[in-house]
Amino acid sequence: MSPHGSSSPGLPLFVLSLLLLSPPGTLAGGDGRPPSKPIVTPISKDGSTSLYTIPVKGGAPLVLDLAGPLVWSPCQPGHRTVPCKSSVCTAANRNHPANCAYTGTGQPGSPDPTCACTAYPYNPASGQCGSGDLTIAPLSSNATDGKNPLFPVSFSAYAACAPDGLLASLPSGAAGVAGLSRQPLSLPSQVASRLKVAKQFALCLPGGGQTGAAIFGGGPFELQAAPPMELAEDLRKNALPLLVNPKNGAYYFRVHGIAVNQAQVPVPGGAFDLDRRQGTGGVVFSTVTRFTTLRSDIFSPLINAFDAATSGIPRRKPMPPYDLCYEASAFSSTRVGPGVANIDLMLDGGRTWTLPGASSLVQVDERTLCFAFQSMGSESTVANSPAVIIGTHQMENNLVLFDLEKGTVGISGLLLGRRTTCGNFNFAMGSS
């Protein structure tokens, strides 16, 4: 339930400069042009695990993990290694997964010239960790103008080798994990440093059966609609500040309250606050948690308020893990999902993130819709436990733009209300 890692996201400038200077990578596009443009990659949703992948490792999919500090994958024999004495080795070990035993070898700072750095990859689906060499891996994607892919781009990145067994619980065929956190060895940080683009990325998670899109490096983000719709500029103008949790590099933001049908839900004072000293509480995004999960002191009044607001809708027997279910045929159909009371998250500056029926309910079978929020249970003080984990069901078909340099996030709101979806990025190759 907790974003992994237990150390500060900040690193000295000399570490970041080292990332820019080494290793020697292929910084040119497939036709020799310098890739000064952002890159785009399709996002696929796995039907079995509800996890999301991007095909950036030679076409092999890596699972998206917003809290992950590293890129990791099993390695081939004879792979390159990174010296223990390098500052990059220190960076790779600043986010040691909780309950992950040190191997005693490959420790950062060792002066031994033959010492190869050990990193500790973490599987966010299983909660398991492993150990392996820190290496240099080839990655690839396509440059973009925000409207189409333009030309192939390949580059090298630091990655952790992982034992094959660490792939358990990931989608079939997945080659590892792409960590997207604020840490310097995450994928967006390394794309920015290797390709000399903005330290930003935009995620548009698709619904089932569609292909979403991620853009790393800033720039426009256009979806097909009538007329085509560029979304990134407004998100940057109306961005919200991210909060820093010194214990990890995950993406927290401030929530002041929650409302159902425009009536504020009575939650305890300070229920959403982030305790920076302990690294607990707060509201955090997750790409490995399917449904938004709330600490019990927030979940209970929320589900009670939603239950009261939908009292006239026939119920169905709850189907675990769902706590509240309805007769699907009792709902009207709207552009933004079943016609039901909205849930609003109250944000900074008097703004709200509205979650209509497509975000608040999930279709379980032909006859049943269920409340798409879950409780963490009574254990509210586990290490690094947030107050609220925003899950992928609520993020789907929203464009979410993270700016690591400015420490901000922009949220589009449900795109169905604008007559488009995350499945509407045009992946036909354009002309550069």
Per-residue pLDDT reduced to its tens digit, 188-201: 999 999 999 999 99
Say whether both 195 and 273 belong to one domain.
no
Preceding omega of 23 cis (within 30 degrees of 0): yes
The reply to whether 8 falls in a domain is: no
pTM: 0.91
Question: Structural domain tally of the chain?
Answer: 2
Say whether both 142 and 289 belong to one domain.
no
The reply to whether 22 falls in a domain is: no
Q: Which residues pair with 362 in a beta bridge?
A: 370
Whole-number pLDDT of residue 132: 96
pLDDT at residue 381 greater than cutoff 70 = no
Q: Domain range spanning residue 268? A: 240-395
Averaged pLDDT score across all residues of the chain? 91
Say whether both 251 and 210 belong to one domain.
no
Average pLDDT, integer, range 403-432: 95
pLDDT at residue 382 greater than cutoff 60 = no
Say whether both 368 and 295 belong to one domain.
yes
Say whether both 45 and 115 belong to one domain.
yes
Say whether both 323 and 382 belong to one domain.
yes
Say whether both 293 and 356 belong to one domain.
yes
Say whether both 63 and 209 belong to one domain.
yes
Average pLDDT, integer, range 107-113: 91
Whole-number pLDDT of residue 338: 98
Higher pLDDT, 426 or 30: 426
The reply to whether 259 falls in a domain is: yes
State the pLDDT confidence band at 343, using cuts at 50, 70 and 90.
very high
The reply to whether 151 falls in a domain is: yes
Say whether both 212 and 253 belong to one domain.
no
Residues whose CB falls within 8 Å of the CB of residue 344, separated by 6 or more in sequence, listed in order: 258, 259, 260, 262, 352, 353, 354, 355
Whole-number pLDDT of residue 104: 85
- The CATH number of the domain where 88 resides is what? 2.40.70.10
State the pLDDT confidence band at 1, using cuts at 50, 70 and 90.
low
pLDDT at residue 27 greater than cutoff 70 = no
Residue 168, judged by CB atoms within 10 A of its CB (0-12, 13-18, 19+), counts as exposed
pLDDT at residue 384 greater than cutoff 50 = yes
The reply to whether 432 falls in a domain is: no
Say whether both 199 and 292 belong to one domain.
no
Whole-number pLDDT of residue 432: 64
Say whether both 51 and 132 belong to one domain.
yes
How many helices (H) and strands (E) in the chain?
Answer: 7, 32
